Amino acid sequence: MRLHEFVLAHRPTPMADARTVKQKLRKLLRVVDFDVETQRSITAQLERELNTSLSQHKPLIKEEIDAFLTEQQDEEDDAGSDSEPEPARPPPAKKQKAASGGAVLPPPPGECVVPLSAVRFATVRQYGGKSMVDVREFYDKDGSLKPGAKGLALQPEGWAVLVQQAGALTGALEAGDDAFYVELGASTKRASISTFKGRHSVDLREYYEKEGEIKPGKKGIALQAEEWGKLCTAAAQLSQQLQQSGGGGGAAPSAGPSGARKAAGSAGPCSGATANPAAAGGAAGGGGGVELSSTRRADVSAFKNVVYVNIREYYEKDGQKLPGSKGISLPREQFAALNAHAAELDAAVKQHDTAYELQLSAKRKATVSCFKKTYLVNLREYYEKDGQQLPGKKGISLSEDQWAKLLAGLPGLAAALDQT
């Protein structure tokens, strides 16, 4: 063998970085038959594709496979639940189509334009010489986005109250407290929690009085949890632009006239979008946090003197970890039921007993399921249809590894609850 052939044959195999492994693995998982393949065979196939040993990435590969399977399980749960569909809205595809020559439609006019979804934006604009924050849904007309009727413009004092009470509103949103509301300044506008077919949203709306009753008007917009989170994230930016435009945007006044249900405590700007869910509502348990994976966490949070164990998946944006829609908050009595029967649930997981059910409340259960040869612990809220209890969207599915971490962290979570 010649020298250069010997060198080529014996040169060290290049190491694959974690990012490359994750990208390649995700593509592979989309076409894998989990009824046939195992973690070992998937790893071997990935090693062949990358032409390198992945022994140092085995924990990462296991976590990614678990995460992929739990995502697929959650999607199946969502598909099987027709009790909580998305509220009807104009199809975003048309609004995102190219106007001409493949160009994407330009954003709507305004200062500090913040996209909340494909067709919803928060902007700072002027009307009648006054600056305001406008949260609105748009539609496509002749290749440009035009403001629709669905939306609400907030004067500086109303916006200041919304920013101040963002944390309390987030806590009420998570708790599903549709009796909670905040008066936005001295106007007839409110931020409240509304419910549509089981799904909660933050409703920004103008009200009117009729026969001594305050009734919701047509002017307004209901923001889903993800849209509300994006608005919270951009609150400081919008406030700064509002102030530069001569609209103030500084410290918030009181939350309106007497009789309004104000949030307990004072939440800082954008506190609803912080990485620590305990910040929501302005009160925190803080202790006992358990990392279940790189994107999932369990910890203690409090809202209006009610303490919860929050088990949730997070996503990263602009360097912050923000709470996603997958998750569930357990009040004391539901967590106590989970903690008291954790050993039974763990035994059911290890025995692959998919018939096991633990009733946490009238509508909530902990169950064991099998999805593509992977066993999961499901903490989920159910709804009734045709005499059957069906899984809803509120909940989370944990892999065996994530459940083991939660099981080990239960004493710490219980201690944090006792201290709150």
30 exposed, middle or buried (CB, 10 Å; 0-12, 13-18, 19+)?
exposed
Q: Is the pLDDT of residue 370 over 60?
A: yes
Q: Give the type of residue at 178.
A: D
Average the pLDDT over each of 198-207, 242-251, 365-374 and give the range with the smallest value.
Answer: 242-251
Task: Give the pLDDT mean for 30-51.
Answer: 82
CA distances from 69 to 34, 64, 369 (A): 9, 9, 12
Can you give the pLDDT at residue 79? 43
DSSP-based three-state secondary structure for 329: strand
Task: Give the pLDDT mean for 238-247.
Answer: 84
Question: Buried b / exposed e across 156-184, counting CB within 10 Å, b at 16+?
Answer: bbbbbbbbbbbbbbbbbbbbebeebbbbb
pLDDT grade for 15, boundaries at 50, 70 and 90: low
DSSP-based three-state secondary structure for 133: strand
CA distances from 87 to 218, 222, 250 (A): 16, 9, 34
Closest by alpha carbon to 134, among 118, 117, 158? 158
What is the number of residues in the chain? 420
Q: Which fold has domain 111-273?
A: Transcriptional Co-activator pc4; Chain A (2.30.31)
Can you give the pLDDT at residue 325? 79
Q: For residues 282 and 172, what is the distance between their CA atoms, to the nearest angstrom?
A: 11
Q: Is the pLDDT of residue 37 over 90?
A: no
CB-based contact 120:138 (threshold 8 Å): yes
Model pLDDT for residues 157-213, shown as the tens digit of each residue: 999 999 999 998 998 898 888 788 888 876 689 999 988 877 889 999 998 877 767
Flag whether the pTM goes above 0.85.
no
